[in-house]
Structure 1
Amino acid sequence: MTASRSNGLALLTPEMKSKLEIYASLIGKWQPKINLIGPSTLADLWTRHFEDSYQLAELAGGWAEWVDLGSGGGFPGLVIAMTKGSAGRVHLIESDKRKVAFLREVSRETGIDVDIHVGRIESILPKLCEQTDFDVISARALAPLPLLVEYAWPALVKGATGLFLKGRGLSAELTDLPPNNSLDIQIVASRTEPGGSIVVVRAHDSRTNRV
């Protein structure tokens, strides 16, 4: 289960690595019960899932509030929470109650403090955005990019940066995006998945003329 770690994770503190070890153990315990990750990726958990998630933290820069959509088995949200140090707060949104139970057990066993919201994104996120100005909104393997932008819009329009992990086939999703002059989209190559990308999305702020 503890496959070799890539360079990004090697920079983490011993405490952070210890939390990820506990997380890895819990994935092994729960995977036979619920499908948290693709079974073929279990042997490469540290690179395919932990490092894949952690690369978003390096793109995000400084942040105080982070919200993760459709957190599932905790990628990328739980990894971000375990590697953030003392700064920032992470919110996870998940509708599957079995996966919510898993997220809560990982939070309890690792001692990380995260806000877990149970329900559908379109119901929960707008209410959260009324209370909190998010700096980052993330998602992984959740939905096509046009739908992701729609889900994330309440946070994007208030200044959050979208960081969306995508696999192959992104070009078709970009083509399917409706014309929108209020969006700035950048594509960053994934360092863990050949052909994978991170889509960085920002909304133009008409009040300040910023992106």
Structure 2
Amino acid sequence: MVERDRDRVLAGAHVSRETAQRLDIYVEQLRRWQTIKNLVGPGTLSEIWSRHIADGLQLRDLAPDAATWLDLGAGAGLPGLVLAIAGHDRPDFRVDLIESNARKCAFLTETARLTGAPARVHNARIEQAIAAHQGVAVVCARAVAPLTQLLAWAEPLLTTGTVGLFPKGRDVQSELTEAAQRWRFVYDLVPSRTESEARIVRVTTLSRVDS
């Protein structure tokens, strides 16, 4: 099952053989470190390709020309490290990963080294580190916080031209309703390829309701 998922995801993403090999290294590392640090939900390891890798790769297709990405609360590198691996062949490509957990940062740093991914790991809290990343093309976050909080963190970027890509599950409409009480934002909802009820919130402009 896992091998079939791998082949299907890689074929759909149209990645090179070298990128596929680097993603294999990532998966191997994730499985190894999972026994030490709970990087992803244990029940999702059997869906690593169809759920986790595919989730990261689909974001790439929503901003194919973007060369600089920022992943908030990078955790196990989903989606940020997957995006960096997929962008390895682009000389101008870079992903910055913000993660406050030192052990997760160790995983990200080691796996980026082994895969040669153009990723930089920042062991810091999001609210303290985000100001240093003005000018990135895309900011993303997966399974980190409600949309209202994500917009608050990303405000310095989303008000200056950065695009936000935030995968959300079946509660996306309630999160949008809550966020609209505090924020004015232009967005569209992109259906997820990995879960029928999930959506990716693509935010292009942002301002405060009271501004």
| Higher mean C-alpha deviation, range 74-83 or range 59-68 | 59-68
| Higher mean C-alpha deviation, range 78-87 or range 141-150 | 78-87
Alignment correspondent of 1:209: none
- Quickly say closer, same or farther: Cα 1:83–1:33, change in 2 above 3 A: same
Conserved 8 A contact 1:8-1:55:
no
Which structure 2 residues correspond to residues 200-211 of structure 1 after superposition, within 5 A? 200-203=202-205
Query: Identity over aligned residues, as a percent?
Result: 41
Q: In the alignment, is residue 187 of structure 1 matched against residue 183 of structure 2?
A: no
Can you give the 5+ residue segments of structure 2 that lack an aligned partner in the other structure? none
Aligned pair partner of 1:40 in 27, 30, 43? 43
Aligned counterparts of 2:8 and 2:51: Cα–Cα separation in 1: 13
Can you give the 5+ residue segments of structure 1 that lack an aligned partner in the other structure? 206-211
Tell me the matched-pair count.
202
Alignment correspondent of 1:81: 84
Conserved 8 A contact 1:95-1:119:
yes
Aligned counterparts of 1:111 and 1:204: Cα–Cα separation in 2: 35
Aligned counterparts of 1:160 and 1:60: Cα–Cα separation in 2: 11
Q: Secondary structure at the match of 2:5?
A: coil
Conserved 8 A contact 1:3-1:46:
no
Aligned counterparts of 1:126 and 1:6: Cα–Cα separation in 2: 39
Alignment correspondent of 1:114: 119
Which structure 2 residues correspond to residues 64-79 of structure 1 after superposition, within 5 A? 64-79=67-82
Aligned counterparts of 2:113 and 2:15: Cα–Cα separation in 1: 21
Which structure 2 residues correspond to residues 1-211 of structure 1 after superposition, within 5 A? 2-5=3-6, 7=8, 9-10=10-11, 11-84=14-87, 85-86=89-90, 87-129=92-134, 133-179=135-181, 182-203=184-205
Q: Deviation at 1:64? A: 2.1
Conserved 8 A contact 2:191-2:199:
yes
Letter aligned with residue 115 of structure 2: T
Q: Secondary structure at the match of 1:43?
A: helix
Q: Secondary structure at the match of 1:127?
A: helix
Aligned counterparts of 2:206 and 2:44: Cα–Cα separation in 1: 38
Conserved 8 A contact 2:30-2:39:
yes
TM-score by length of 1: 0.90
- Quickly say closer, same or farther: Cα 1:104–1:2, change in 2 above 3 A: farther
Q: Secondary structure at the match of 2:202?
A: strand
TM-score by length of 2: 0.90
- Quickly say closer, same or farther: Cα 1:182–1:171, change in 2 above 3 A: closer
Letter aligned with residue 122 of structure 2: H
